[in-house]
Structure 1
Amino acid sequence: MARQDRLNWDDKGIRLPAVRAVADQYQCSVSTAIRAYEWLEQRHLVYAIPQSGYYAVQNGTGAQDMDWQEPLDFASAAPDPRVFPYADFRHCMDLAMRQKQDELFLYGTQQGLPSLIALLQKQFADYQVFAGAEQFFITSGVQQALAALALMTFPGGKTKVMVELPTYHNMPTLLESLKVPIAGVRRTLVEGLDWDSLERQFAEGDIKFFYVMPRFQNPIGTSLTAVEKKRLLRLARRYDVYLVEDDYLADLEDSARRDPLWSYDTHERVIYLKSYSKILFPGLRVGVTVLPSALVSGFGLYKRMLDIDTSALSQAALEVYIHSGMFAHHRKTIRSRYASRMKVVHEQLAAHPDFAPFRDAPRTGGEHTVLPLPSGMPVNTLISRLESRGILADTTERYYPAGMVERGREPGIETMLRLNISNVPKQRIEEGMQKIREEISRLQLKSLREGME
């Protein structure tokens, strides 16, 4: 079956012959046909939908990497559209419509579909996030959860939100638009979090929560160690501060020993956020928030105020996608694909130890890293010159609150080139990084010559 039909399965997501039809075609017993499908399922060639049948797994093929004609896009953080599970998810949407049509066109519950929440409880246990069903909320993306958390009143009545510097680029804009006061603490490549500043600001008494990315921080890509996570939790408990953990790349973690901040929390200080945008597609707009018990009621009020409930159709389709095993297969595919690309990045960094930006770049997992740029590097000129050579790249400037950059380069702002591999073909990464190295070197040489004149 695998030899004869695999080429026909490239349409991906198509329904395969029923078990009895396979038995008749190959003149074998029904039990043998079932075992054949089970064998194919174990090898992630097909997947089963209960009471529906077997379907071909999306194989992730598309435009061949070496035939890629578009610019090499190291700037985009969106998932690779060539491996979007379009056909499989469309099937899940259709199945959700058939199975849950009585629920999909009415107002739902503010928490989300109870059946999806029950499924997520089991899935999140794999991430080492254990919580009761009443602590889960399905939101219209993580952005909605951040807005609700920023607006709602926390126990103790504190008002400020602390962010890492640099941080997720939409967070400062969101807080400013909601007129929520912002505090910041630096997180650098060498030193990590500025612990003295963090504790001093916690102690001043007006930080209601600290928005932090312990895993594959955006934009610098580094992760907190277990020791650092425990230290952060001790400070949060001591000064009555909540920690909003954005675990947006949990699905790309390749080490079972790297647990989220939530798993170390024994005093309910952590709010856990999980997005499906990076592993599936951004347009799904489904996020998950897991809350300490004390915040459930207040969060629910603001969630209902913002949108009443999250799209029931998206929730139902995601439930089918996870329950069928398709999500687990797709996650494995994406994790493997991105890991192989990051391996090429690391090989290129190691191949040029005398080139400071490559030498000092963090060897991260996930989907991105950063290149520290020399002092005085004209970043706009660099971006323009790279674009003229078919390379799209981004700096970390926009990951700081706008006022910090507008006031000039304050001490502590590191000028870095952010490189994301999710949309760069593996076979073209070496070429792209060579061009980046050449353009940085040329601008360095030009600056040196001008300084000597």
Structure 2
Amino acid sequence: MYKYLEISQSIEQKIKLNKFEPGKRLPSIRSISKMFGCSMSTAIKAYEDLVDRHIVYAVPQSGYFVVEATMVAPERDLAQIDFSTGVPLIDEMPSDDFKHCLNSAVDIYSRVALHTDIEGIASLRRLLEKYLREYQIFSSYQNIFINLGIQQVLTILSQMPFPNNKECILIEEPTYALYIMFLKQAGIKTLTIKRDENGLDLKALEHLFKTGNIKFFYTVPRHHNPLGTCYSKKTREKIAMLAEKYDVYIVEDDYLAEMDFNVKYDPIYAYGDHYHHIYLKSFSKIIPWIRIGLCVMPSHLIDLFRTYKRNHYYYSYVASSIVAQATLEIYIRNGMINSHINLLKKQYSSKIKCLKSEIAKLSDLPDGCKWSYGSGYYAYIWLPEHLDESRLIDNLEKQNIVVSSGIHFYFSPTSYEKGIRICITRTNNEQIARGIALIMSEIEQSV
């Protein structure tokens, strides 16, 4: 073993035994050299090894210090089947490549301010222009804005005037819970259109576009949360056509595009006139270490969106850090993101097949009970109206099964169709099979 490794391991052991306390200054280079009978360069190399492994840190002109004890993540209940959230378990995702990119980004931008231009780093936007082509989004980098996730963009768009001079926002029901919460709290005029396992009523959509004073229609065409469904090609084409016909903008949330196994699926944006279409994309579900999203704005809205985003920026001090953006750029540029996505798809394909298989087995459902599922992470179970939903959820929790109430995904309590959402992000195949069986058993006992 190299001498510097012997020294670094000896110091590490003393730190673990609390002989060197966290936050306290370690012996000087000269002291280490005398203590271990080595050259000063060897002592420096030993400390550099400890720095690289985040055990100690260096302070210029002061020396080396023990890193303070880090927070310990709460232990997961391994007996619990968690169907309640779409937030992935970070510790189950491959992270070595990402850590390398993060370290490189920190080195490159260590002397640059944490925040950057309203639009985002230009080199990343140019790269994303090419990246988006894989998903049939053809646009100039000048139309791309980097944001702190999708919610930030939705907040800005909801408060921003549009050239059609209309006021109401149309949303699917059910839909994204956090956006519903924002619309209610902000008191924004909102209309809804019913979406079910078969999609939506295109005639009803046209009527709303024609008469509802709709500024924009917010839609999640594929991997819908909470239904887990995807719009057919016919529906996507029709929505694009109606947007142009009635001067209604489409805000398309394509948050999980990378995880689609249907390579022929094109977003609504691909069928539209690129005048009435705003495309949203998030990286949070596939790269949960950073919160970055993007939007593709039509050219005539760029200046207006930039102005409102700048106002939002100054008001909330919220923007994607330059280090996070640089990390994503390195991750994409080196092709590491493609390997990461392929690995994730391999992991999730087994879960998705398992969920489909378990749902397919449920041929004799109680009256008033039905499943919605198409692809992706989510599925929804509609429940009989007379069933006590809260008691069902409580009983499932007693069996270590956690699900989400469907009420969160409906804008209006009067239009709420009783149900529960499940998500397979934090489960394995055995848990999916056992969990679905237990959920259906509890429903049957509750009917």
Question: TM-score per shorter chain, which class?
Answer: 0.7 to 0.9
State whether residues 193 and 205 of structure 2, in contact with CA within 8 Å, keep that contact through their aligned partners in structure 1.
yes
Equivalent-residue separation in structure 2 for 1:334 and 1:375 (angstroms):
38
Query: What amino acid sits opposite 2:166 in the alignment?
Result: K
Residue 284 of structure 1 aligns to a residue whose secondary structure is coil
1:123-155 per-position Cα deviation (integer Å, ceiling 9, x unaligned): 111111110011000011111111111111110
1:286-326 per-position Cα deviation (integer Å, ceiling 9, x unaligned): 11000111111111111112226531111011111112222
Match of 2:364?
354
Gap change, CA 1:414 and 1:189, over 3 Å in 2: farther
- The answer as to 2:435 corresponding to 1:432 is yes
Equivalent-residue separation in structure 2 for 1:385 and 1:265 (angstroms):
47
Please give the TM-score of this superposition, normalised by the length of structure 2.
Answer: 0.78
Equivalent-residue separation in structure 1 for 2:114 and 2:378 (angstroms):
41
- The answer as to 2:348 corresponding to 1:341 is no
Equivalent-residue separation in structure 2 for 1:372 and 1:267 (angstroms):
36
Worse overlay, 107-116 or 302-311: 302-311
Equivalent-residue separation in structure 2 for 1:338 and 1:291 (angstroms):
31
**Pairwise CA distance, 1:266:** 2.5
- Match among 291, 301, 305 for residue 299 of structure 1: 305
- Match among 210, 226, 244 for residue 237 of structure 1: 244
State whether residues 352 and 359 of structure 1, in contact with CA within 8 Å, keep that contact through their aligned partners in structure 2.
no
Equivalent-residue separation in structure 2 for 1:82 and 1:93 (angstroms):
17
Residue 386 of structure 2 aligns to a residue whose secondary structure is coil
Equivalent-residue separation in structure 2 for 1:234 and 1:161 (angstroms):
18
- Match among 162, 167, 174 for residue 166 of structure 1: 174
**Pairwise CA distance, 1:357:** 8.3
- Match among 265, 268, 272 for residue 275 of structure 2: 268
Equivalent-residue separation in structure 1 for 2:276 and 2:371 (angstroms):
32
**Pairwise CA distance, 1:101:** 3.7
Gap change, CA 1:351 and 1:204, over 3 Å in 2: closer
Q: What fraction of aligned residue pairs are identical, expressed as a percent? A: 33
- The answer as to 2:251 corresponding to 1:251 is no
Match of 2:446?
443
Equivalent-residue separation in structure 2 for 1:350 and 1:234 (angstroms):
35
Gap change, CA 1:106 and 1:71, over 3 Å in 2: closer
Equivalent-residue separation in structure 2 for 1:144 and 1:107 (angstroms):
16
- The answer as to 2:381 corresponding to 1:371 is yes
Gap change, CA 1:380 and 1:359, over 3 Å in 2: closer
Query: What amino acid sits opposite 1:293 in the alignment?
Result: S
Match of 1:80?
89
Equivalent-residue separation in structure 2 for 1:414 and 1:100 (angstroms):
50
Equivalent-residue separation in structure 2 for 1:97 and 1:174 (angstroms):
34
- The answer as to 2:200 corresponding to 1:206 is no
Equivalent-residue separation in structure 1 for 2:115 and 2:264 (angstroms):
41
**Pairwise CA distance, 1:107:** 5.0
Residue 371 of structure 2 aligns to a residue whose secondary structure is coil
Match of 2:162?
154
Query: What amino acid sits opposite 2:338 in the alignment?
Result: A
Equivalent-residue separation in structure 1 for 2:367 and 2:138 (angstroms):
40
Query: What amino acid sits opposite 2:196 in the alignment?
Result: T
Match of 1:418?
421
State whether residues 68 and 425 of structure 1, in contact with CA within 8 Å, keep that contact through their aligned partners in structure 2.
no
Match of 1:21?
none
- The answer as to 2:289 corresponding to 1:289 is no
State whether residues 401 and 435 of structure 2, in contact with CA within 8 Å, keep that contact through their aligned partners in structure 1.
yes
**Pairwise CA distance, 1:237:** 0.9
State whether residues 205 and 239 of structure 1, in contact with CA within 8 Å, keep that contact through their aligned partners in structure 2.
no
Match of 2:134?
126
State whether residues 175 and 226 of structure 2, in contact with CA within 8 Å, keep that contact through their aligned partners in structure 1.
yes
Query: What amino acid sits opposite 2:277 in the alignment?
Result: V
State whether residues 172 and 182 of structure 1, in contact with CA within 8 Å, keep that contact through their aligned partners in structure 2.
no
Equivalent-residue separation in structure 2 for 1:88 and 1:305 (angstroms):
36
Equivalent-residue separation in structure 2 for 1:352 and 1:419 (angstroms):
16
Equivalent-residue separation in structure 1 for 2:298 and 2:166 (angstroms):
17
Query: What amino acid sits opposite 2:420 in the alignment?
Result: L
Worse overlay, 106-115 or 124-133: 106-115
State whether residues 249 and 278 of structure 2, in contact with CA within 8 Å, keep that contact through their aligned partners in structure 1.
yes
Residue 361 of structure 1 aligns to a residue whose secondary structure is strand
Query: What amino acid sits opposite 2:430 in the alignment?
Result: Q
Equivalent-residue separation in structure 2 for 1:137 and 1:352 (angstroms):
45
Equivalent-residue separation in structure 1 for 2:177 and 2:322 (angstroms):
29
Equivalent-residue separation in structure 2 for 1:301 and 1:332 (angstroms):
38
Worse overlay, 423-432 or 351-360: 351-360
Query: What amino acid sits opposite 1:215 in the alignment?
Result: R
Correspondences of 1:71-110 after superposition (within 5 Å): 71-102=80-111, 104-105=112-113, 107-110=115-118
1:105-126 per-position Cα deviation (integer Å, ceiling 9, x unaligned): 1652211001111111111111
State whether residues 344 and 426 of structure 1, in contact with CA within 8 Å, keep that contact through their aligned partners in structure 2.
yes
Residue 369 of structure 1 aligns to a residue whose secondary structure is strand
Match of 1:189?
197
Gap change, CA 1:428 and 1:200, over 3 Å in 2: same
- Match among 393, 400, 406 for residue 403 of structure 2: 393
